[in-house]
């Protein structure tokens, strides 16, 4: 384990401390947890020895005894995507603040790997799991992976039919807000770029897009959905497909920011300017969005907050809260930059 060692070469334990301080190990244990039962002098003496020996607490042993855990599994579907990276940072922060420690696994969208990793985490005694499911995970698969006694929260990708609490942004409201903004700017033919209909996130964002169009009394045309991988390259392909459409859209709502970045880049390569020749809006507001060429108008999913909220929900579950109460649909916020071609007066302002 490699703790600080006594002369004898093994890590110091509470019995070493007890012996040196002339008390029993029970007393040392009491001191360690700051119990008020122990007399101040004794406490001081013990603390002094602890300090001198450079003793380090063995939380694993304590957890074995108390049958608790301070580990939480953090299972991320694609850590290579900056969005999930930010989410992971948010979760990590929330966990540490509450005295828990994350075990990381990147499934890389591989459901096999996901199954292995979940198993491994159980063996390693995590107290609960926060997971953004790999693409292709359905309720049935999840049920077989999930242990009724293991607290678990699902994030970012809703698994329909699963009773596990879900924490994620309000995709529909967010997309709707963005598309309404485009409509306000005068657009009448607005496309949707990226993702596949099998992804619940895409379904939700598409439905926000549709709601905005229908809500404005505009004609709805579902040939304006251009599916693709949710990647930069997918964005490129999707935007090219949209340009080839007989009645090409003048604006597009993208599945997420990296799709939007791929799309703006592809436009630029053809000599077209996002925000002029075609309005482009993303989703997520990753750090890069602001530095895109042109800076991306996008829907902020409040990623860090969302991560913190995952931690909160999981710890609620661990403490026995009703799973039904631990789900959370987070707020979204439209961030207007340049890729939508908004008049300069509204640029840089954030609309609630």
> Footprint of a copy of itself on this chain (CB under 8 A)?
1-5, 11, 54, 56-61, 63-64, 67-71, 74, 79-80, 82, 85-86, 88-89, 92-93, 96, 101-106, 117, 119-125, 127-128, 147-151, 232, 261-262, 265, 268, 287-288, 291, 293
Cα(303)–Cα(290) distance, rounded to whole angstroms?
A: 15
Residue 287 contact, options a copy of itself, DNA, none, Cβ 5-8 Å cut-off depending on partner type: a copy of itself
Distant-in-sequence, close-in-space partners of 337: CB < 8 Å, separation ≥ 6: 289, 290, 294, 295, 296, 297, 298, 347, 348
> Of these, 8, 9, 34, 65, which contacts DNA (CB under 7 A)?
65
Q: Which does 24 bind (CB under 5 to 8 A by kind): a copy of itself, DNA, none?
A: DNA
Q: With CA atoms as reference, report the closest residue to 314 among 170, 167, 201.
A: 167
CA atoms of 307 and 47, how far apart (whole Å): 37
Nearest approach, Cβ of residue 4 and a copy of itself (Å): 6
139 lines the binding site for DNA (CB under 7 A): no
The helix (H) or strand (E) run that includes residue 328 is strand 328-330
Q: Is there binding between residue 26 and DNA (CB under 7 A)?
A: yes
Among the listed ranges 38-46, 79-87, 89-97, 216-224, the one in contact with DNA (CB under 7 A) is 38-46
Using rule CB under 7 A, residue 67 touches DNA? yes
**Shortest spacing between CB 47 and DNA, in angstroms:** 12
Q: Which does 140 bind (CB under 5 to 8 A by kind): DNA, a copy of itself, none?
A: none
Query: Left (φ > 0), alpha (ψ -120 to 50) or beta: where does 85 sit?
Result: alpha
Beta-bridge mates of residue 154? 131, 166
The residues, ordered by sequence, that sit 6+ positions from 240 with a Cβ below 8 Å of its Cβ are 266
Token code pair at residue 281: 């809006």
# chain residues binding DNA, by CB under 7 A? 31
Which of a copy of itself, DNA, none sits in contact with 37, Cβ below 5 to 8 A by type? DNA
**What's the gap between Cα 269 and its chain centre?**
32
């Amino acid at each position: 384990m490699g703790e600080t060692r006594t002369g004898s070469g093994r890590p110091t334990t509470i019995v070493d401390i007890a012996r040196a301080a002339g008390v029993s190990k029970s007393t040392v244990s009491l001191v360690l947890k700051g119990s008020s039962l122990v007399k101040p002098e004794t406490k001081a003496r013990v603390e002094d020895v602890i300090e001198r020996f450079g003793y380090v607490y063995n939380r694993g042993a304590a957890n074995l005894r108390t049958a608790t855990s301070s580990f939480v599994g953090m299972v991320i579907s694609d850590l290579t995507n900056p969005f999930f990276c930010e989410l992971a940072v948010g979760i990590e922060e929330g966990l540490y603040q509450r005295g828990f420690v994350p075990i990381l696994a990147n499934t890389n969208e591989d459901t096999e790997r996901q199954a292995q990793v979940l198993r491994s985490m159980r063996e390693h005694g995590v107290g609960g799991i926060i997971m953004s499911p790999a693409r292709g995970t359905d309720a049935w698969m999840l049920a077989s992976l999930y242990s009724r006694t293991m607290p678990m929260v699902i994030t970012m990708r809703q698994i329909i039919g699963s009773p596990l609490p879900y924490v994620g942004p309000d995709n529909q409201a967010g997309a709707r807000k963005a598309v309404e903004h485009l409509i306000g700017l005068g657009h009448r033919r607005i496309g949707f770029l990226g993702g596949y209909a099998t992804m619940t996130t895409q379904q939700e964002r598409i439905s926000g897009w549709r709601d905005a169009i229908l809500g404005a009394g505009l004609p709805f045309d579902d040939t304006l959905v251009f599916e693709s991988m949710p990647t930069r390259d997918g964005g490129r392909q999707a935007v090219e497909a949209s340009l080839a459409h007989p009645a090409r859209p003048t604006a597009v709502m993208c599945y997420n920011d990296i799709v939007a970045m791929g799309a703006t880049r592809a436009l630029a390569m053809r000599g077209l300017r996002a925000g002029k020749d075609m309005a482009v809006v993303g989703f997520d507001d990753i750090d890069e969005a602001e530095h895109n060429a042109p800076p991306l108008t996008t829907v902020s999913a409040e990623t860090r907050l969302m991560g913190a909220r995952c931690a909160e929900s999981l710890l609620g579950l661990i403490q026995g809260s009703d799973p039904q109460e631990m789900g959370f649909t987070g707020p979204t916020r439209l961030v207007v930059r340049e890729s939508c071609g908004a008049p300069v007066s509204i640029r840089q302002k954030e609309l609630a």
